[in-house]
Amino acid sequence: MAWFAIYTSPRQEKKVAARLAKLDIDVYCPLVIQERQWSDRKKKVEVPLLPSYVFVNLASQNRELVFQVAGVVRYLYWLGQPAIIKDVEIELMRRWLQDKVTTFEVIGIQPGSLYEIPSGPFIGQKGIVDKVTKNQIVLILEQLGMKIILHK
């Protein structure tokens, strides 16, 4: 058995994970807590760490089972083959996410400078600061090929 990454419909990650679990498929949807602002209040909500992605652990011959679930779009491919995620990487992500809140201080951080993430799921990753606002930092993580937003 191996871990595979599934691409889901937008905002369907938690629903897809629940539906896959009902089919007795080992599924992991990494979630983080974010504080969201509504017009009348602030609220902490659980959101997926990786939007539109869910991980499943199953045998290669059973990969078609996931398409029985509404919201599953396709598998993530790497070099023409379904991308296989190592058990160690999934466990590392689970360990990182045990701390539910990521905090940081914005002190003298300027666009173009190098910034190391001090805590949370991407702890230790270094990125180039793209944008700094009062409440967030936008980082480009070239090693991972992505841009992330860190909220204060």
Tens-digit pLDDT profile for residues 67-76 = 999 999 999 9
Q: What is the pLDDT of residue 20?
A: 96
Spatial distance between the Cα atoms of 139 and 122, rounded to a whole number of angstroms: 11
Relative to beta strand 146-151, strand 136-141 is antiparallel
Cβ-contact 120, 114 below 8 angstroms: no
pTM listed for this prediction = 0.65
> Residue holding tokens 């790497």?
78
Does position 16 have pLDDT exceeding 90, yes or no?
Answer: yes
Tens of pLDDT, residue by residue over 82-115, are 999 999 999 988 888 886 545 444 456 788 888 8
Q: Which residues pair with 147 in a beta bridge?
A: 140
Separation of CA 54 from chain center? 9
Tens of pLDDT, residue by residue over 21-74, are 999 999 999 988 888 888 888 888 888 888 899 999 999 899 999 999 999 999
- Mean pLDDT, to the nearest integer, of 140-146? 77
